[in-house]
Protein backbone atom coordinates (compact mmCIF):
# COMPACT_ATOMS: atom_id res chain seq x y z
CA UNK A 1 0.00 0.00 0.00
CA UNK A 2 1.65 3.20 -1.19
CA UNK A 3 1.10 6.60 0.35
CA UNK A 4 -1.07 7.66 -2.60
CA UNK A 5 -3.24 4.54 -2.73
CA UNK A 6 -6.87 5.42 -3.42
CA UNK A 7 -6.01 8.71 -5.11
CA UNK A 8 -6.38 9.68 -8.74
CA UNK A 9 -3.84 11.81 -10.58
CA UNK A 10 -3.81 13.54 -13.96
CA UNK A 11 -0.40 14.26 -15.47
CA UNK A 12 -0.39 16.26 -18.69
CA UNK A 13 2.29 15.55 -21.25
CA UNK A 14 3.08 12.22 -19.62
CA UNK A 15 4.19 10.31 -22.69
CA UNK A 16 7.86 11.18 -22.37
CA UNK A 17 10.50 12.94 -20.30
CA UNK A 18 9.57 14.57 -17.02
CA UNK A 19 5.88 13.73 -17.44
CA UNK A 20 6.62 10.02 -17.87
CA UNK A 21 8.85 10.00 -14.79
CA UNK A 22 6.21 11.83 -12.75
CA UNK A 23 3.46 9.43 -13.86
CA UNK A 24 5.61 6.43 -12.92
CA UNK A 25 6.49 7.92 -9.56
CA UNK A 26 2.90 8.67 -8.64
CA UNK A 27 1.78 5.21 -9.75
CA UNK A 28 4.57 3.53 -7.75
CA UNK A 29 3.22 5.32 -4.68
CA UNK A 30 -0.24 3.87 -5.35
CA UNK A 31 -2.10 6.53 -7.35
CA UNK A 32 -4.28 5.69 -10.33
CA UNK A 33 -2.67 7.87 -13.02
CA UNK A 34 -4.25 9.38 -16.11
CA UNK A 35 -1.43 9.62 -18.65
CA UNK A 36 -2.27 12.53 -20.91
CA UNK A 37 -0.72 12.81 -24.36
CA UNK A 38 -1.49 14.37 -27.72
CA UNK A 39 0.23 12.99 -30.83
CA UNK A 40 2.70 10.36 -29.69
CA UNK A 41 0.53 7.38 -28.88
CA UNK A 42 3.51 5.03 -29.04
CA UNK A 43 5.31 6.95 -26.29
CA UNK A 44 2.16 7.03 -24.15
CA UNK A 45 1.79 3.26 -24.50
CA UNK A 46 5.40 2.86 -23.39
CA UNK A 47 4.64 4.94 -20.30
CA UNK A 48 1.62 2.74 -19.52
CA UNK A 49 3.69 -0.41 -20.02
CA UNK A 50 6.41 0.85 -17.69
CA UNK A 51 3.83 1.67 -15.02
CA UNK A 52 2.31 -1.79 -15.38
CA UNK A 53 5.78 -3.37 -15.02
CA UNK A 54 6.22 -1.34 -11.82
CA UNK A 55 2.96 -2.80 -10.53
CA UNK A 56 1.04 0.46 -10.88
CA UNK A 57 -2.28 1.42 -12.43
CA UNK A 58 -2.72 3.93 -15.24
CA UNK A 59 -4.68 4.69 -18.38
CA UNK A 60 -4.18 6.99 -21.35
CA UNK A 61 -6.12 10.16 -22.15
CA UNK A 62 -5.55 11.70 -25.55
CA UNK A 63 -6.29 15.40 -26.03
CA UNK A 64 -4.72 18.43 -27.68
CA UNK A 65 -3.80 21.38 -25.48
CA UNK A 66 -3.38 25.00 -26.46
CA UNK A 67 -6.54 25.11 -28.57
CA UNK A 68 -10.03 26.45 -27.82
CA UNK A 69 -12.04 24.06 -25.65
CA UNK A 70 -8.99 22.00 -24.67
CA UNK A 71 -9.79 21.79 -20.96
CA UNK A 72 -13.39 20.71 -21.47
CA UNK A 73 -12.36 18.10 -24.03
CA UNK A 74 -9.67 16.64 -21.79
CA UNK A 75 -11.92 16.38 -18.74
CA UNK A 76 -14.73 14.87 -20.77
CA UNK A 77 -12.40 12.07 -21.89
CA UNK A 78 -10.99 11.70 -18.39
CA UNK A 79 -14.43 11.40 -16.80
CA UNK A 80 -15.63 8.94 -19.45
CA UNK A 81 -12.59 6.72 -18.94
CA UNK A 82 -12.93 6.82 -15.16
CA UNK A 83 -16.61 5.89 -15.50
CA UNK A 84 -15.67 2.95 -17.72
CA UNK A 85 -13.38 1.78 -14.92
CA UNK A 86 -16.21 2.06 -12.40
CA UNK A 87 -14.71 5.14 -10.76
CA UNK A 88 -16.15 8.58 -10.12
CA UNK A 89 -14.93 11.83 -11.67
CA UNK A 90 -13.02 12.95 -8.57
CA UNK A 91 -9.39 13.97 -8.88
CA UNK A 92 -6.79 14.30 -6.13
CA UNK A 93 -3.65 15.39 -7.97
CA UNK A 94 -3.24 17.58 -11.04
CA UNK A 95 0.24 17.95 -12.53
CA UNK A 96 0.43 20.59 -15.26
CA UNK A 97 3.52 19.29 -17.03
CA UNK A 98 2.73 19.59 -20.74
CA UNK A 99 4.67 22.36 -22.39
CA UNK A 100 6.33 23.56 -25.55
CA UNK A 101 9.55 25.49 -25.98
CA UNK A 102 10.68 27.82 -28.68
CA UNK A 103 13.97 29.65 -29.11
CA UNK A 104 13.93 33.30 -30.01
CA UNK A 105 15.41 36.53 -28.80
CA UNK A 106 13.15 39.53 -28.47
CA UNK A 107 13.86 40.70 -32.03
CA UNK A 108 13.15 37.24 -33.48
CA UNK A 109 9.91 36.16 -31.76
CA UNK A 110 6.93 36.09 -34.10
CA UNK A 111 3.36 36.68 -32.96
CA UNK A 112 2.58 33.09 -33.89
CA UNK A 113 5.37 31.69 -31.70
CA UNK A 114 4.47 34.00 -28.83
CA UNK A 115 0.82 32.96 -28.94
CA UNK A 116 1.68 29.26 -29.15
CA UNK A 117 4.02 29.41 -26.15
CA UNK A 118 1.46 31.17 -23.99
CA UNK A 119 -1.42 28.99 -25.21
CA UNK A 120 0.24 25.74 -24.11
CA UNK A 121 2.44 26.86 -21.20
CA UNK A 122 0.13 29.39 -19.53
CA UNK A 123 -3.41 29.48 -20.86
CA UNK A 124 -3.87 25.72 -20.88
CA UNK A 125 -2.84 25.15 -17.22
CA UNK A 126 -5.07 28.05 -16.17
CA UNK A 127 -8.20 26.59 -17.71
CA UNK A 128 -7.32 23.01 -16.78
CA UNK A 129 -7.35 24.19 -13.17
CA UNK A 130 -10.50 26.26 -13.62
CA UNK A 131 -12.40 23.34 -15.19
CA UNK A 132 -10.88 20.82 -12.78
CA UNK A 133 -11.84 22.56 -9.56
CA UNK A 134 -15.19 20.78 -9.50
CA UNK A 135 -13.36 17.45 -9.80
CA UNK A 136 -10.55 18.18 -7.37
CA UNK A 137 -11.19 16.93 -3.86
CA UNK A 138 -10.57 19.10 -0.82
CA UNK A 139 -7.04 18.43 0.39
CA UNK A 140 -5.89 17.86 -3.19
CA UNK A 141 -2.68 18.87 -4.91
CA UNK A 142 -1.91 21.07 -7.92
CA UNK A 143 1.68 21.01 -9.15
CA UNK A 144 2.84 23.18 -12.04
CA UNK A 145 6.04 22.42 -13.91
CA UNK A 146 7.75 25.74 -14.45
CA UNK A 147 11.38 26.42 -15.39
CA UNK A 148 14.60 27.80 -13.96
CA UNK A 149 14.54 30.42 -16.72
CA UNK A 150 12.17 32.34 -14.46
CA UNK A 151 15.13 32.83 -12.09
CA UNK A 152 18.03 32.90 -14.52
CA UNK A 153 18.10 35.40 -17.37
CA UNK A 154 17.68 33.46 -20.61
CA UNK A 155 17.20 35.94 -23.46
CA UNK A 156 17.66 33.16 -26.01
CA UNK A 157 14.07 32.09 -25.30
CA UNK A 158 12.43 35.17 -23.87
CA UNK A 159 8.79 34.37 -24.68
CA UNK A 160 9.09 30.89 -23.16
CA UNK A 161 10.57 32.41 -20.00
CA UNK A 162 7.72 34.93 -19.85
CA UNK A 163 5.11 32.18 -20.18
CA UNK A 164 6.65 30.19 -17.34
CA UNK A 165 6.93 33.34 -15.24
CA UNK A 166 3.20 33.84 -15.61
CA UNK A 167 2.70 30.25 -14.45
CA UNK A 168 4.62 31.05 -11.26
CA UNK A 169 2.37 34.05 -10.60
CA UNK A 170 -0.66 31.85 -11.14
CA UNK A 171 0.74 29.34 -8.65
CA UNK A 172 1.06 32.00 -5.97
CA UNK A 173 -2.43 33.44 -6.44
CA UNK A 174 -4.07 30.03 -6.70
CA UNK A 175 -2.47 28.83 -3.47
CA UNK A 176 -4.11 31.71 -1.62
CA UNK A 177 -7.43 31.10 -3.37
CA UNK A 178 -7.58 27.37 -2.60
CA UNK A 179 -6.13 27.43 0.90
CA UNK A 180 -9.57 27.23 2.56
CA UNK A 181 -10.08 23.91 0.74
CA UNK A 182 -6.70 22.60 1.97
CA UNK A 183 -5.56 22.28 -1.65
CA UNK A 184 -1.86 23.00 -1.97
CA UNK A 185 -0.51 24.63 -5.12
CA UNK A 186 3.19 24.63 -5.91
CA UNK A 187 5.51 24.94 -8.88
CA UNK A 188 8.71 23.04 -9.64
CA UNK A 189 11.35 24.77 -11.78
CA UNK A 190 13.75 22.37 -13.53
CA UNK A 191 17.01 23.41 -15.15
CA UNK A 192 18.41 21.48 -18.09
CA UNK A 193 17.04 17.92 -18.02
CA UNK A 194 17.82 14.99 -20.30
CA UNK A 195 14.61 15.12 -22.32
CA UNK A 196 13.70 15.34 -25.99
CA UNK A 197 12.91 19.03 -25.50
CA UNK A 198 16.55 19.74 -24.67
CA UNK A 199 18.11 17.29 -27.12
CA UNK A 200 19.08 20.00 -29.60
CA UNK A 201 21.14 21.74 -26.91
CA UNK A 202 23.40 18.72 -26.24
CA UNK A 203 24.13 17.43 -29.73
CA UNK A 204 27.89 17.22 -29.07
CA UNK A 205 29.93 16.16 -26.03
CA UNK A 206 31.19 19.73 -25.72
CA UNK A 207 27.66 21.15 -25.67
CA UNK A 208 26.55 18.58 -23.10
CA UNK A 209 29.56 19.41 -20.93
CA UNK A 210 28.71 23.11 -21.04
CA UNK A 211 25.16 22.39 -19.88
CA UNK A 212 26.42 20.10 -17.13
CA UNK A 213 28.79 22.79 -15.91
CA UNK A 214 25.85 25.10 -15.16
CA UNK A 215 24.89 22.87 -12.22
CA UNK A 216 26.70 22.81 -8.89
CA UNK A 217 26.81 19.02 -9.35
CA UNK A 218 28.36 19.27 -12.83
CA UNK A 219 25.76 17.12 -14.51
CA UNK A 220 22.59 17.44 -16.54
CA UNK A 221 19.44 16.58 -14.59
CA UNK A 222 17.44 13.40 -15.03
CA UNK A 223 13.63 13.26 -15.24
CA UNK A 224 13.59 11.27 -11.99
CA UNK A 225 15.27 14.20 -10.22
CA UNK A 226 12.14 16.25 -10.90
CA UNK A 227 9.66 13.41 -10.46
CA UNK A 228 10.80 12.71 -6.91
CA UNK A 229 10.07 16.32 -5.94
CA UNK A 230 6.64 16.20 -7.57
CA UNK A 231 5.75 12.95 -5.79
CA UNK A 232 6.72 14.53 -2.47
CA UNK A 233 4.54 17.57 -3.21
CA UNK A 234 1.67 15.21 -4.07
CA UNK A 235 1.95 13.45 -0.72
CA UNK A 236 0.62 14.28 2.74
CA UNK A 237 4.18 15.02 3.83
CA UNK A 238 4.02 18.32 1.88
CA UNK A 239 0.78 19.47 3.53
CA UNK A 240 2.38 22.63 4.99
CA UNK A 241 3.94 23.77 1.70
CA UNK A 242 1.91 25.92 -0.69
CA UNK A 243 2.43 28.88 -3.00
CA UNK A 244 6.08 27.96 -3.54
CA UNK A 245 8.21 27.85 -6.68
CA UNK A 246 10.80 25.21 -5.90
CA UNK A 247 14.07 25.54 -7.82
CA UNK A 248 15.05 22.12 -9.14
CA UNK A 249 17.97 23.10 -11.30
CA UNK A 250 20.75 21.33 -9.42
CA UNK A 251 22.05 24.67 -8.25
CA UNK A 252 22.43 26.08 -11.75
CA UNK A 253 24.30 29.38 -11.89
CA UNK A 254 24.45 29.86 -8.13
> Are 22 and 225 a contacting pair, CB within 8 Å?
no
Q: Output helix, strand, coil percentages for the chain, rounded to the nearest 5.
A: 45, 20, 35
Strands, E assignment, the chain: 8-11, 32-37, 57-62, 91-96, 136-145, 184-190, 245-248
The C-alpha atoms of residue 199 and residue 219 are separated, in whole angstroms, by 15
Judge whether 37 counts as a catalytic residue: no
The C-alpha atoms of residue 158 and residue 85 are separated, in whole angstroms, by 43
Active-site residue, selected from the candidate residues 37, 75, 154, 160: 160
User: Looking at the DSSP assignment, which residues form a beta bridge with residue 246?
Assistant: 188
User: Looking at the DSSP assignment, which residues form a beta bridge with residue 189?
Assistant: 247
The C-alpha atoms of residue 36 and residue 59 are separated, in whole angstroms, by 9
Which residues have a catalytic role annotated?
Answer: 160
Amino acid sequence: MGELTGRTALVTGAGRGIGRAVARGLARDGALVAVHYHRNETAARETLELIAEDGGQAFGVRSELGVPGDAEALYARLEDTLADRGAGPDLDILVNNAGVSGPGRVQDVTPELFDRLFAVNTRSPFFLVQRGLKNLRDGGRIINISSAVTRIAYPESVAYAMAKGALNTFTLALAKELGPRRITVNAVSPGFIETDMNARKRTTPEAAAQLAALSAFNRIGHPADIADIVVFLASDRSRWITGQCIDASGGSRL
